[in-house]
Amino acid sequence: MLLKEKVAVVTGAAQGIGLAIARTFTEHGARVVVADLSEEGAAGAARELGDSAWGIACDVSDEDSVRAAFSGAVDRYGRVDVLVNNAGITRDGMMHRMSVEDFRFVVDVHLQGTWLCSREALLHMRSREGGGSIVNLSSISGKVGNLGQSNYAAAKAGVIGMTKSVAREGARFGVRVNAIQPGLIRTAMTAAMPKDVLAASLESVPLGRPGEPVEVASSALFLASDLASYVTGVTLEVAGGRHM
């Protein structure tokens, strides 16, 4: 029960890694706001998770939508102790074929989305006792780059700089901010990869297999909980040793 009586907002939690994080958090005693672009997906995930979860529609790249989601969360549960910035999309393509719309879209969701949700969470967390924890989903792509991901890798590298800056700003209020860089994790995002690209990528994983969403969730749990009470501004790689 590492998050007993805590309230967590997890973005993009209708499926994949976000849903695994929401499930792990509820198993550890948290009440979880499942915030997702898909209202139906958020409601379905919350139903699956049970009484301690609540689904809400939220587009993390939209300021009004993020404000509404946080005030909804505070109205319902009284406070927010943990934010996980997990919502994400890909629009892969070699740069010479990538449109400026696909560049902006990916940056808007990952980078602006993380910024908007973190600002809302920090405003709330600094206004009361007890601090809080923010966990940002970056990616190994943001560390080493990736063919066809000039938009995504840039956004995910930006998330690391943002993590460190917000960690410095949040520290005086007891708010810790950390990031996770997952490698290849078995979700819809990686299922969309061509089979040969996936097989070639797996060869570079020392542990020799893709990760499971729950393995990212365990790391998010550690960073969100008091087990990590003296950990802030770090990036934890959950990648089976890939690109260590």
- Tell me which residues are annotated as active site: 152
* Distance between CA atoms of residues 65 and 72, nearest Å: 10
Nearer to ligand NAI, 135 or 175 (CB): 135
To ligand NAI, the closest distance from the beta carbon of 53 in angstroms equals: 14
Q: Does residue 155 interact with ligand NAI by CB under 6 A? A: no
Q: CB-wise, 81 or 237, nearer to ligand NAI? A: 237
Contacts of 76 (CB under 8 A, 6+ apart): 33, 54
Could you tell me the CA-to-CA distances from 206 to 117, 125, 169, 193, 237 in Å, in that order?
34, 39, 36, 20, 13
Q: Which stretch binds ligand NAI (CB under 6 A): 9-17, 73-81, 95-103, 162-170?
A: 9-17
The answer to the question of residue 16 lying near ligand NAI (CB under 6 A) is: yes
DSSP 155-178: HHHHHHHHHHHHHHHHHTTTEEEE
Which lies closer to ligand NAI via its Cβ, residue 3 or residue 217?
Answer: 217
Select from 33, 37, 162, 228 the one that contacts ligand NAI (CB under 6 A).
37
Compute the distance between CA of residue 224 and CA of residue 84 in angstroms, rounded to an integer: 8
Footprint on residues 60-79 left by ligand NAI (CB under 6 A): 60-61
What tokens were used for 149? 């991901």
Residues 163 and 196: their CA atoms lie apart, in Å, by 34
Choose one: 14-22, 47-55, 162-170, 171-179; the region binding ligand NAI (CB under 6 A).
Answer: 14-22
At 135, list the tokens. 């966990």
Residues that bind ligand NAI (CB under 6 A): 11-12, 14-18, 36-38, 41, 58-61, 86-89, 109, 113, 137, 139, 182, 184-185, 187-190
